A and B are shown apart, each in its own frame.
Chain A
Amino acid sequence: MSAIATAPPRAPRPAQRRWVESFAGIGFATPAFVLLVLTNIAPLVALAILSFTDYEMGAVDIHSVGAANFSKALHDPVIRRSLGNTFLYVAIVVPASVLLSLLVAILVHRRTRSRGFYEVVYFLPVTTTLIAMATMWQFLLHPQLGPVNAVLTSLGFNRVAFLSEPSLVLPTLAAIGVWQLVGFNMVLFLAGLSAIPRDLYEAAEVDGASHPIDRFLRVTWPLLGPTTMFVTVTTFITAFKIFDTVAVMTRGGPMGSSMTLLYAVYLEGFQYFHLSYAATLTLIFLAFTLVFSVTQTFFLDRRVHY
């Protein structure tokens, strides 16, 4: 009697298997890719195309104008002013919020029982919507009705019109921006501080670096390198994107002293309906963000130790 051997199931041929694997891979990646294209890439491409045209909202026809929008933007005094104001805002907010949050994190880090309380208190501003908070700040800073001025007058100073004085508007908005960012940066720094091994501090103590400043310069600051870099880059990008407070509280005034780049984009696009010009400005905004982020990453990355 001949033995009937059942043939083993045939394994798919190598080429067939490769095709199956690629199909599966593409299948898994497609939804995310489609979303990315629809929400990021496609609008970006549309923006890029628009910036070379003269399209206005509601216009019937559309013509190409080459780089005319770009040269207009670079010579526009309003846009130059917006750029200047945005850079000034970033120059105040980034160092202030990074250093302040670092200081707060170092102070809070060692607390045992009150640490939770301080974390909540400092993080609360992050959880709020800036538009709602902007309205609140408007009240707080009101020259006649606001508590801040009430405190100032009780101390003997004159009333200060924070949001109506051209020289004070941007620093005031910067202070509000710092207020909103400190909690978030503090949480990031707390995570970074927890990652520093405790016996490094003890070794420093035995080596003679027992003064808090010595400990900070020799151990804490160098080992917080990656965290500091991350915090600085994210704070920079967040600060550069300032819009909410300007839109709600000052609307670019008084006399354009709080006009920032994104608000200018908003005005051009949705108030004056120069959509192609707004697209141009958006591209400029993106270019700046990209340049600074890349520069920061490469410049800081060399000095960071992991």
Chain B
Amino acid sequence: MAGLSLKGISKGFGTTPVLGHIDLDIADGEFVALVGPSGCGKSTLLRIIAGLERQDAGTVTIGGAPVDHLRPHERKVAMVFQNYALYPHMTVFENMALPLTMSRLNVLERIPLLGALSPRKRAVMRQIATEVNAVAAQLRIDTFGARRPGQLSGGQRQRVALGRAMVRDPDVFLMDEPLSNLDAKLRVHMRTELAELHARLGVTMVYVTHDQVEAMTMANRLAVMDQGDILQLGTPTEVYEWPASIVVAQFIGSPGINLLPATVALGGRVELMGRALPVRLPLEPGSAVTIGLRPESLRMHRENGDCEVACQFKRRENLGSESILHYSAEAGGTAPILCKVGHDDVAGLESLRAAEGSILYFAPAGCHFFDAKGLRVEPLQIDAAMSPQQTRAAATLEVVS
């Protein structure tokens, strides 16, 4: 059990850069998820940690000791692959025992017929069998030790792959999208199992996924990656509540965040579709700014201090416990605005008609602001208690003065 540290890792394939300068520190026992869209370099980073790829620059340190010169099996890491990579010609038991037979038997003992003559081999194999059966019992796969992977279901194969990683008692667990090949229900079940496994073993885990739900629900910290860089590293709360850039805000959260273009007026005041918001940003007047609003921050009914945005109702996605309402912004044809509402006003939801003009309300404190480069900007001041008339008056006063 050890911490993992990456310093200055970069990698390119030919002329194509895949990983920029990556710095990442993972504490001992932490579960870190590398999450990002396809092609962002997360799998390459994982393979560099495992030793299956060589980085162009930078160092990998496990437990305080650099491991760049070590082969994968010498690094005390274990890897679970997306397609499980179980040996189809070996039984479940042999699959799980292979890491131990490779490390504990010498070359002569590994030869099939010659090795059977060695008494040491028999003792070692007995020890291996005990360990393998213990891990198999933990994962509840001890009943099919004699079966081949081809005779198992997807979830069972997944657990065998996990077991093969666990028997090695590694310092770091590496998982490359292990749940992608499972059906939705099994994926939810395995998420819980993996989280419980981590809690039980307390081993450092690095988990690669493109599914932000998996990352948010299982990880202690997420590293959101895009195009070879880590955009933000933080706890699920930090990444969700304070996304560092538009890309992070769009990637985390389902349904995705609403992005509304706005401008900065005199004094740093934000203007959205001609209406001033009671917010001041440390930006030059005239600069473009994007307002990010999570679907659950938008409301159909006004509350004290709310701002408004005029839009047209298009359709409702009824998920039972909640509904996602699709609106289109009245001013300017941008992407649809999504609003997530709960179960409270089902009658009101049922009475919504398409192409009806309506107003959505939001609290200015629930807005995320991003500058022209897409990076997060913290507001200087939010006057949440101002009514709309006061806001308009304040804006007029500013212009006059």
Contacts and interface: CB of A to CB of B under 8 A. Distances in A.
A202 B148 contact: no
Given A200-B85, A200-B87, A210 B72 contact: yes
Contacts of B98: 207-209, 218
Contacts of A206: 50-52, 72-73, 77-79, 99
B110 A199 contact: no
A94 to B, nearest CB: 22
B360 to A, nearest CB: 48
11 contacts: A199-B82, A199-B85, A203-B164, A206-B50, A206-B79, A207-B98, A207-B164, A208-B102, A208-B103, A218-B87, A305-B150
Contacts of B90: 222
Nearest to B97: A207
Nearest to B79: A206
A219 B72 CA distance: 17
Give me the 6 closest cross-chain CB pairs, A-B, nearest first: A208-B102, A203-B85, A208-B73, A222-B89, A207-B99, A199-B85
B242 interface: no
A214 B112 CA distance: 12
B59 to A, nearest CB: 20
B51 to A, nearest CB: 8
Contacts of B51: 205-206
Contacts of A209: 98, 102
B79 A203 contact: yes
Central interface residue in A199, A204, A208, by most chain B CB within 10 Å: A208
Given A214-B102, A214-B110, A205 B52 contact: yes
Contacts of A210: 71-73
Contacts of A246: none
Interface in B21-60: 47, 50-52
Contacts of B86: 203
Contacts of B77: 206
B286 interface: no
Contact of B71 (A197, A202, A205): A205
Contacts of B79: 202-203, 206
Contacts, number: 65
B73 A205 contact: yes
Interface residues of B, number: 28
Interface residues of A, number: 19
B232 interface: no
A204 B164 CA distance: 11
A182 interface: no
B361 interface: no
B366 interface: no
A207 B83 contact: no
A39 to B, nearest CB: 40
A214 B78 CA distance: 19
A183 B85 CA distance: 31
B81 interface: yes
Contacts of B202: none
A219 B87 contact: yes
A214 B107 CA distance: 9
A170 interface: no
A84 interface: no
Contacts of B267: none
Contacts of A218: 87, 98
B102 A202 contact: no
Contacts of B63: none
Nearest to A198: B85
A205 B51 CA distance: 9
Contacts of B102: 207-209, 214
B315 to A, nearest CB: 43
A35 B87 CA distance: 45
A65 to B, nearest CB: 52
B285 interface: no
Contacts of A205: 51-52, 71-73
Interface in A256-306: 305
A200 B83 CA distance: 9
A225 interface: yes
B88 interface: yes
A223 interface: yes
A197 B90 CA distance: 15
Given A202-B52, A205-B72, A206-B79, A225 B89 contact: yes
Given A202-B81, A203-B86, A210-B71, 7 more contacts: A202-B79, A206-B50, A206-B51, A206-B73, A208-B98, A210-B73, A225-B89
